[in-house]
A and B are shown apart, each in its own frame.
Chain A
């Protein structure tokens, strides 16, 4: 124990030495390459927005392709040592590494995306309510499907993806009681060719609206080959596939949050918090709904987005039952955030099992 304390003291001494600089240094750890065109690309857009907003007052640094685990801990330590004032760790798997390093550098602020652990006061967590966007896409899907079959391509069965499947289905069902959803798990974070095959398999099963939780344009390109099949942009706008098959999109927009938090460090007002913003905070953007969607459906989708944004409606509002028919939320009751964050069951009406 004593040895650990000594090491901690040495580390914090080093961290103290760099406080004298006047520029604020914001650092980012990415799980993939910027060129992934999806998750990491959107975080990097946030970094560039920070640079554009604060100009000379900030300095930025980033590291791509950082594996979770031991490598993350080393990269974070290195960043903290080299004078970063605030470090954004942009993947769930960095959770334990972020908290471990934060404990050694009390003067450096850490921001962990999509996690829930805040062991020390210098760790904040943030996430985006992507399911709000899914609710809007689900509405469009329910109205647009002619076969009454919509498809969802998932990566791994983690709570965020399950939120997305449930939110899409609930809102498709709300506008079209005949709708069913088929889920295909790719069991990989990244394999564009497999996404194309998954989309094709869904189309063969009669699905005519495809929602994807994976970030490549492969499902859209596959949809483009079959007339009448539509899909949505995911992570980025994917405007190359406008006006159809891409009829709208969910865009990850981290810029407002990054600007706010870096600004707080500059002002000296940074404090620990847990942020889970959505459409209202501008973190989840709904991409342009194209002319391929009838005007009344577009209006309906936009109205839903607006009601979510102003807080008058929550996508998980009862009455909702779990898949097995047992009640989950009573009439008018809204799911609480803790429950949503760890969501691990389907709502009633979805067939198939979540892989365990």
Chain B
């Protein structure tokens, strides 16, 4: 095994950072939603709406940056529907989330008619000048487009806000015990609405990264289940922001690694390689949760429950 089957670790890390961006963005958004006590299973639907809205915006304005804004807006608008149903009409969150996915897949395909076979404007890697020529580190740290850095920065920001600010405190209070938060005078509905919008916007941005950078083109069903993985990553992270990064990079890393192992002619059977991202994610979660014994209990206490202010 020369150089571990010819796989350059620096290149592998650089690839997994790019590969993980969509699920990282969607997962950190969903984390905020769930921290506020709301379970939105519609991530896949919001992602694909972001993918098409971002694609249309970028193609018609010629600006990839506006594309990402358009994608975030698309995801947020769809999440607004979820918010109306679950927060105002107190509909069941699990079912509404799944309906959102169904609706998003359908609507995105309708909107995308006529956008097949078009190449969107290019999102360039940032120019770090000589920094990107540093061996190993240059490739890992200074070779990406802005969204890769943004995804990490957003995770850091969410962590800081949740941990150190009053906003974070209110958000957690609402998620842990909405009756108590209400009694303290916090507007439970408003907090949750904003959290849902934030989650929708980030899922939309993640979707836009798929249609504008990763693939880049529009095809029906382009997200191919990425939203479900994002949901799993939030659980994996046991609702802790930095663990979202670990989970996303672990899953993305194994997915990229298994393809690299195939490409270099490894003798491990392909079907086991293709299962490996899922199995290893389970395995790592088992190790993490058995060590602490309390990881599963970290879920926000009001998660998935409707709130109705009786007074």
A residues engaging B (CB < 8 A)?
32-33, 35-38, 41, 151, 182-185, 187-188, 190-198, 200-202, 204-207, 216-218, 221, 236, 238-241, 351-353, 355
A38 to B221, CA, bound (A): 13
A352 to B270, CA, bound (A): 10
The 10 A-B pairs with the shortest beta carbon distances in the complex, nearest first, are A35-B220, A240-B119, A33-B220, A201-B259, A191-B224, A187-B274, A201-B263, A192-B215, A355-B270, A201-B260
**A216 and B219 contact, Cβ closer than 8 Å, known pairs A193-B19, A238-B117, A355-B271:** yes
Q: Is B113 an interface residue (CB 8 A)?
A: yes
A240 to B256, CA, bound (A): 27
Instruction: Decide: B260 and A192 in contact? CB cutoff 8 A.
Output: no
Q: Is B177 an interface residue (CB 8 A)?
A: no
* Known contacts A32-B220, A191-B225; 19 further A-B pairs (Cβ under 8 A): A33-B220, A35-B113, A35-B220, A36-B221, A37-B117, A37-B219, A182-B263, A184-B262, A191-B224, A193-B22, A193-B214, A194-B224, A194-B255, A194-B259, A197-B19, A201-B263, A204-B8, A204-B12, A205-B264
Instruction: Give me 21 A-to-B residue pairs in the complex whose CB atoms sit less than 8 angstroms apart, sorted by A's number.
Output: A32-B220, A35-B112, A35-B116, A36-B220, A37-B116, A183-B262, A184-B259, A184-B263, A185-B270, A187-B274, A191-B225, A193-B210, A193-B215, A198-B259, A201-B260, A217-B119, A217-B215, A217-B217, A218-B216, A353-B269, A355-B269
Q: Is B222 an interface residue (CB 8 A)?
A: yes
A35 to B222, CA, bound (A): 10
Instruction: Decide: B109 and A33 in contact? CB cutoff 8 A.
Output: yes
Instruction: Decide: B113 and A187 in contact? CB cutoff 8 A.
Output: no
A195 to B256, CA, bound (A): 11
A202 to B221, CA, bound (A): 25
B residues engaging A (CB < 8 A)?
6-8, 11-12, 15, 19, 22, 109, 112-113, 116-119, 210, 214-222, 224-226, 255-256, 259-260, 262-265, 269-271, 274
Contact among B109, B217, B263 for A216, CB-based, below 8 A: B217
Contact among B8, B109, B214, B269 for A35, CB-based, below 8 A: B109
Task: Report chain B residues within 8 Å CB of A236.
Answer: 117
**A192 and B22 contact, Cβ closer than 8 Å, known pairs A37-B117, A182-B265, A355-B269:** no
**A204 and B7 contact, Cβ closer than 8 Å, known pairs A185-B262, A194-B224:** yes
Task: Report chain B residues within 8 Å CB of A240.
Answer: 117-119
A45 to B216, CA, bound (A): 23
A249 to B214, CA, bound (A): 22
Task: Report chain B residues within 8 Å CB of A353.
Answer: 269
Distance of B260 from chain A, by nearest CB (Å): 4
A253 to B281, CA, bound (A): 43
Residue of B nearest to A190 (CB): B224
Distance of A19 from chain B, by nearest CB (Å): 35
A240 to B216, CA, bound (A): 11
A183 to B262, CA, bound (A): 7
**A192 and B256 contact, Cβ closer than 8 Å, known pairs A37-B217, A355-B269:** no
Distance of A80 from chain B, by nearest CB (Å): 27
**A35 and B259 contact, Cβ closer than 8 Å, known pairs A182-B265, A193-B224, A197-B15:** no
Residue of A nearest to B219 (CB): A37
Residue of A nearest to B259 (CB): A201
Instruction: Decide: A196 and B265 in contact? CB cutoff 8 A.
Output: no
Contact among B112, B220, B225, B265 for A351, CB-based, below 8 A: B265
**A205 and B214 contact, Cβ closer than 8 Å, known pairs A33-B220, A236-B117, A238-B117:** no
A217 to B226, CA, bound (A): 18
Task: Report chain B residues within 8 Å CB of A184.
Answer: 259, 262-263
A240 to B218, CA, bound (A): 13
Task: Report chain B residues within 8 Å CB of A198.
Answer: 259, 262-263
Task: Report chain B residues within 8 Å CB of A216.
Answer: 215, 217, 219
**A41 and B116 contact, Cβ closer than 8 Å, known pairs A192-B222, A193-B226:** yes
**A190 and B117 contact, Cβ closer than 8 Å, known pairs A201-B262, A205-B260, A217-B215:** no
Residue of B nearest to A200 (CB): B15
Instruction: Decide: A218 and B15 in contact? CB cutoff 8 A.
Output: no
Instruction: Decide: B216 and A221 in contact? CB cutoff 8 A.
Output: yes
**A207 and B109 contact, Cβ closer than 8 Å, known pairs A192-B219, A193-B210:** no
A207 to B262, CA, bound (A): 13
Instruction: Decide: A33 and B256 in contact? CB cutoff 8 A.
Output: no
A182 to B259, CA, bound (A): 11
**A221 and B264 contact, Cβ closer than 8 Å, known pairs A187-B271, A192-B224, A197-B256:** no
Residue of A nearest to B115 (CB): A35
Instruction: Decide: A185 and B274 in contact? CB cutoff 8 A.
Output: yes
Instruction: Decide: A33 and B263 in contact? CB cutoff 8 A.
Output: no
